[in-house]
Amino acid sequence: MLNKNLKSWIDVKADSDFSIHNIPFGIYSDKNVKHHACSAIGEYIIDLFELESADLLDMPRDVFEQQYLNAFIELGKTQTNKVRLRLIELLCDENSILNKDKAFFNKVFKKQSNVTMLMPVRIGDYTDFYSSIDHATNVGTMFRDPANALLPNWKHLPVGYHGRASSIRVSGHSFHRPKGQQKPADSEVPVFGASKLLDIELETAFIIGKSTEMGDSVTTEKADDYIFGMVLFNDWSARDIQTWEYVPLGPFLAKNFASTISPWIVTLEALEPFRVKGYEQTPKLLPYLEYKGDKNLDINLQVYLKPQNGKENLICTSNYKYMYYTMEQQLAHHTVNGCNINVGDMMASGTISGPQPHEYGSMLELTWRGTKPLKLEDGTERKFVNDNDTITIRGYCEKDGVRVGFGDCTGTLLPAK
């Protein structure tokens, strides 16, 4: 699957997320370009509209000058994979016009540091799952009974809820600490105010690449045909608002004020070489959730907290491979009742925690509900996120010296308005 012999004439550092094996898709803007579709290699973005303007991609050019990638993705995987493979070919061919014609090179390639990445897709519907067994066990232990941490349904279906797409923002944004109802433990009645327990959730999300009709279901076997690619995802959560409001229908205002995604959609094809065996699932699942083959993914994940004017502190190291349910099972479950899906829909993994304390994917777990504060290098402590803290999630796959990564997923918490 991995062709280690691929080598680009562009210099790519060994620790770059954007090797020749990646070739992700995104949308960028700069002082001359309002929005063009792009890919990335090393420290450059590759302007796909400019490439197609020179007839190098054999695609309808207008899909590359839209605000979002939806129209491009709607061309189907046969076409989008063709573009990705064509880019790899152009980037490996030393005789390519891109390598020979400096003026053309400068039109197509721009330093990533000189452009602004925009939202890659128009997200119609967003769903969030709850599929990490360590996360669900930790939360169940903290808030219920350690002996019965998982609720009876958990090992029979990937639990999820419908979230809100309007407040999902691309990396680099900032937002205000949310306000809402909370009920202090020592009070009989709720109070209103800024959340005091603002948390993060380390997640990934997959983006739907093929629509279905109402009544259709996607099987685990066919699910990969419907998944265009993945991004990193921070599901910011106000724990005090959540604790009071979530019964009986689940999260509402504790989650819908902001979420952050990384700007590059890494295709399922680029991630395929990093597939690993899935979590052993017992008891046996109903037939529609069974699947064959290695469907988990080995994606190293990190979370960094940076105080205002301070340094980044690594606060969590986890891995996507700890997920109990696969994306294929999540999608099969989501559609088993005939719920239709659309290109651009986003489905998030749920907080990805590992078995070790440093692998917990939320502050709630890392500080064990605030009882074990994190010590930062500047001497301060954190139980939850402080005003003006910046959180960055990073993630990459690595195998046999080949690296495929996601870039940064960064958001900053501002004081309440």
User: Smallest gap, in angstroms, from Cβ of residue 136 to Ca ion?
Assistant: 11
Q: Which stretch binds Ca ion (CB under 5 A): 39-47, 62-70, 171-179, 196-204?
A: 196-204
Which pair of structure tokens corresponds to residue 130?
Answer: 């709850």
Distance CA 27, CA 69 (A): 7
Distance CA 42, CA 28 (A): 16
Task: Find out whether 409 and 171 touch, Cβ atoms under 8 Å.
Answer: yes
Q: Which stretch binds Ca ion (CB under 5 A): 45-53, 91-99, 230-238, 242-250?
A: 230-238
Q: Which stretch binds Ca ion (CB under 5 A): 60-68, 99-107, 198-206, 406-414?
A: 198-206
Q: Which amino acid is at 90?
A: L
**Based on CB atoms, which residue is closest to Ca ion, 254 or 270?**
254
Among 47, 50, 52, 235, binds Ca ion (CB under 5 A): 235
The DSSP symbol for 68 reads S
**Based on CB atoms, which residue is closest to Ca ion, 50 or 134?**
134
Given the DSSP bridges, would you call strands 266-267 and 390-399 parallel, antiparallel or unpaired?
unpaired
Residue 103 φ then ψ, to 5°: -65, -40
Is residue 128 within the footprint of Ca ion (CB under 5 A)?
yes
**Based on CB atoms, which residue is closest to Ca ion, 235 or 240?**
235
**Based on CB atoms, which residue is closest to Ca ion, 65 or 201?**
201
Q: Which of these, 346, 388, 380, lies nearest to 235 by C-alpha position?
A: 346
**Based on CB atoms, which residue is closest to Ca ion, 362 or 367?**
362
Is residue 201 within the footprint of Ca ion (CB under 5 A)?
yes
Q: Which stretch binds Ca ion (CB under 5 A): 52-60, 69-77, 122-130, 384-392?
A: 122-130
| Residues 352, 333, 164, 216, CA torsion sign | positive
Is residue 365 within the footprint of Ca ion (CB under 5 A)?
no
**Based on CB atoms, which residue is closest to Ca ion, 6 or 142?**
142
Which pair of structure tokens corresponds to residue 81?
Answer: 């994979």
Q: For the residues of 258-327, what is the DSSP string, one character each?
A: -EEE-S-BEEHHHHGGGEEPPPP--SPPPGGG---S--EE--EEEEEEE-TTS--EEEEEEEGGGBSS-H
User: Smallest gap, in angstroms, from Cβ of residue 256 to Ca ion?
Assistant: 11
**Based on CB atoms, which residue is closest to Ca ion, 52 or 235?**
235
Active-site hit among 135, 156, 176, 333: 135
User: Smallest gap, in angstroms, from Cβ of residue 331 to Ca ion?
Assistant: 17
Is residue 47 within the footprint of Ca ion (CB under 5 A)?
no
Q: Which amino acid is at 8?
A: S
Task: Find out whether 348 and 357 touch, Cβ atoms under 8 Å.
Answer: no
Distance CA 370, CA 385 (A): 11
Question: Is residue 176 annotated as part of the catalytic site, yes or no?
Answer: no
Q: Which amino acid is at 110?
A: K
Is residue 240 within the footprint of Ca ion (CB under 5 A)?
no
Residue nearest to Ca ion (CB): 235
| Residues 42, 48, 54, 60, CA torsion sign | positive
User: Smallest gap, in angstroms, from Cβ of residue 56 to Ca ion?
Assistant: 41
| Number of chain residues interacting with Ca ion (CB under 5 A) | 3
Q: Which stretch binds Ca ion (CB under 5 A): 228-236, 303-311, 316-324, 381-389?
A: 228-236
Which residues are part of the catalytic machinery? 135
* Interface residues toward Ca ion, by CB under 5 A: 128, 201, 235
